[in-house]
């Protein structure tokens, strides 16, 4: 597979990190299948219209698949070449029109009762298979979305519409999806993409007031896409990519597995970068837009390499403080005991003196 497009194309690297990650995996899947399916594929991307932070309308599938004939179907109005307006639940193309059909982060925006029909349409218009990416209803994903939505509401006083629709419709269920595909007799593979803890850290960082600066958004995405994206394919993941065959052939699906499976990292391993990324996001939340923004960004980044030493020093200081407190408590207890003993001794002395004085006094005789 040619990775040149991923490492040198700055326009791709500046795409939002989660959009870049899922389309990059789809590109790798198609490249693995391409020797068996043909060098130039006719691809339909359902729900693939995107709008950049600067308001530019783009079709990411065309950017990632320049060698293929890509059509994008979505519901908003758009006059870009290769775009068709339509609904994925009723696609206006004949059966088996496209070699492959892809769909990214669209299934969760389809009402739950219509999701089986959506899958049915994707499978109907493809010759070979479907590649679908979406977040699913799993505890880490649900918790991450709830935390992000709450943070956006508190920090920016707005409701994030995509997350609100996830809550309204409910995220798709992986078991139900597997059951549907099994009932249709389709073979499939699933792959994680978007390590959920990194996804949350990046999303929190992107929704701080600091990132009102669009150039900083671009720099953050570019950094992630260039240096961290290759390690984000592991559980727990924010989304999963389903690769589903529809032509009864196993060769291209097996070729995909051979190419993609080695890129999946073990679940929840301590991969370098993720803890630093989360620490950086936490530091960003405490920053303010005063003075030079570049200097403000540089400070937290430069300090990340010293983080472990700082934590160790803090832990040592805390241990010393706890030891001092314990010593003071022991001293206080000892002094309290000495004070009690002194009081008892004084009382004993006083009682003894009184008794001796009484014995020395002459007794009056009764008359």
Cα gap 44→101, rounded to integer Å: 5
pLDDT at 262: 96
| Helical axes 293-303 vs 214-227, angle rounded to 10° | 30
Question: H or E element: which one contains 354?
Answer: helix 307-360
Cα gap 234→226, rounded to integer Å: 18
Cα gap 82→71, rounded to integer Å: 5
CA neighbor of 41 nearest in space, from 30, 25, 29: 30
Residues 6+ apart with CB under 8 A from 126: 44, 96, 97, 98, 99, 100, 101, 246
pLDDT at 209: 78
Question: What beta strand segments (E) does the chain contain?
Answer: 42-46, 50-51, 57-58, 69-74, 83-85, 98-104, 126-135, 188-195, 237-245
Cα gap 39→68, rounded to integer Å: 8
pLDDT at 101: 98
Residues 6+ apart with CB under 8 A from 165: 108, 109
pLDDT at 337: 73
Residues 6+ apart with CB under 8 A from 4: none
Residues 6+ apart with CB under 8 A from 207: 148, 151, 152, 155, 156
Helices of type H across 245-306: 251-260, 274-285, 293-303
Residues 6+ apart with CB under 8 A from 3: none
pLDDT digits (tens, 9 = 90+) for 321-366: 667 777 777 777 777 777 777 677 666 655 665 455 555 555 444 4
Cα gap 195→263, rounded to integer Å: 13
pLDDT at 355: 52
Residues 6+ apart with CB under 8 A from 83: 49, 59, 71, 72, 73, 74
Is-contact 18 75, C-beta < 8 A? Answer: no
Low-confidence ranges of the chain (pLDDT < 50): 1-4, 7, 287-308, 311, 354, 363-367
**Angle CA 125–131–134, to nearest 5:** 115
pLDDT at 352: 60
């Amino acid at each position: 597979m040619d990775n040149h497009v991923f490492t040198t194309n700055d326009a791709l690297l500046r795409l939002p990190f989660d959009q870049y990650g899922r389309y990059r995996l789809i590109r790798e899947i198609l490249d693995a299948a391409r020797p068996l399916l043909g060098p130039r594929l006719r691809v339909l991307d359902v729900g693939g219209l995107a709008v950049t932070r600067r308001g530019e309308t783009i079709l990411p599938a065309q950017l990632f698949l320049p060698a293929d004939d890509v059509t994008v179907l979505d519901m908003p109005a758009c006059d870009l070449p290769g775009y068709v307006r339509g609904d994925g639940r009723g696609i206006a193309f004949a059966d088996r029109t496209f070699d492959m059909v892809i769909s990214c982060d669209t299934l969760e925006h389809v009402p739950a009762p219509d999701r089986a029909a959506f899958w049915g349409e994707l499978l109907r218009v493809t010759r070979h298979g479907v590649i679908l990416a979406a977040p699913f209803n799993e505890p880490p994903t649900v918790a991450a979305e709830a935390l992000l939505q709450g943070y956006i509401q508190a920090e920016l006083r707005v409701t994030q519409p995509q997350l609100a629709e996830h809550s309204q419709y409910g995220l798709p269920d992986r078991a139900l999806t597997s059951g549907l595909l099994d009932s249709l007799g389709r073979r499939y593979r699933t792959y994680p993409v978007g390590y959920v803890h990194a996804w949350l850290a990046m999303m929190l960082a992107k929704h701080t007031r600091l990132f009102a600066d669009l150039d900083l958004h671009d720099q953050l995405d570019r950094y992630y896409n260039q240096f961290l994206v290759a390690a984000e394919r592991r559980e727990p993941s924010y989304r999963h990519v389903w690769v589903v065959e529809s032509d009864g052939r196993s060769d291209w699906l097996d070729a995909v597995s051979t190419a993609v499976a080695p890129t999946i990292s073990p679940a929840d391993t301590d991969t370098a970068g993720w803890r630093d990324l989360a620490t950086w996001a936490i530091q960003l939340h405490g920053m303010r837009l005063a003075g030079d923004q570049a200097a403000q960004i540089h400070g937290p980044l430069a300090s990340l390499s010293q983080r472990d030493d700082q934590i160790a020093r803090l832990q040592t200081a805390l241990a010393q403080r706890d030891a001092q407190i314990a010593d003071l408590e022991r001293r206080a207890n000892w002094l309290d005991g000495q004070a009690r003993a002194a009081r008892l001794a004084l009382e004993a002395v006083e009682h003894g003196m009184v008794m001796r004085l009484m014995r020395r006094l002459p007794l009056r005789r009764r008359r």
